[in-house]
Amino acid sequence: MSCRRGECVMGWVNGDYRYIWSQAITEDGNAPPILIVKKGDTEILKATGFKLVPAS
């Protein structure tokens, strides 16, 4: 995970697919995360609206 320029980003690869998880850094920590999935250079999914809940 890398955090800079107001955003935290984590990425990983699984076979032909690249996954990018990003979230803006805000004072209240409530910015919605974004998940992007790419196959090669083609973006095949961009999903938002996740709700992060603390682990119990």
* pLDDT band at residue 39 using 50, 70 and 90 as cut-offs: very high
Closest CA relative to residue 33, chosen from 8, 4, 6: 8
Give the model's pLDDT for residue 41: 93
Instruction: Judge contact between 1 and 7, C-beta under 8 A.
Output: no
Give the model's pLDDT for residue 29: 77
pTM of the entire structure?
A: 0.76
Q: Provide mean pLDDT across the span 5-32.
A: 92
Q: Provide mean pLDDT across the span 3-24.
A: 95
Tell me what the pLDDT averaged over the chain comes to.
91
Give the model's pLDDT for residue 54: 77
